Amino acid sequence: MEAPSELRYDRAGKILHVRFPDGQSFALPAELLRVESPSAEVQGHGPGQKTLVTGRRHVGIIGIEPVGHYAVKLIFDDLHDSGLYTWDTLYALGQNRDALWQDYLNALAERGLRRDP
């Protein structure tokens, strides 16, 4: 996957805008990026180990650090900063945004949990 041709964070809207050379562009909410973090803390170390992250409705991104030519490290204002968002990961999050979001909302509802802190 080629590097994005644009990577821009809208602080007011808490949206990461990503455009790829193939013309695909995505608007990824910080909350989605946080709850779907590729870190082991969120995803676990194997299948079925994913942690449901709650209370992140208002989370924002306070830093974006490049990692080589293949990823960025996002630093969230809840101080979560582990996990590398590769170009493939960002592309997949963009393509599957609606389904991932609905799955997240369903998981919260099933457990009686909330997006609010």
Domain boundaries, the chain: 6-111
pLDDT in tens, 71-104: 999 999 999 999 999 999 999 999 999 999 999 9
pTM for this model (two decimals): 0.95
pLDDT in tens, 23-32: 999 999 999 9
- Please check whether residue 36 is in contact with residue 59, taking contact to mean a CB–CB distance below 8 angstroms: no
Q: What are the pLDDT digits (tens) for 33-63?
A: 999 999 999 999 888 899 999 999 999 999 9
Contacts for 85-92: CB closer than 8 Å, 24+ residues apart: 85/33, 85/38, 86/1, 86/38, 87/1, 87/2, 87/3, 87/4, 87/20, 88/1, 89/38, 90/4, 90/18, 90/26, 90/28, 91/1, 91/18, 91/20, 91/24, 91/26
Hey, what CATH class is 6-111 in? alpha beta
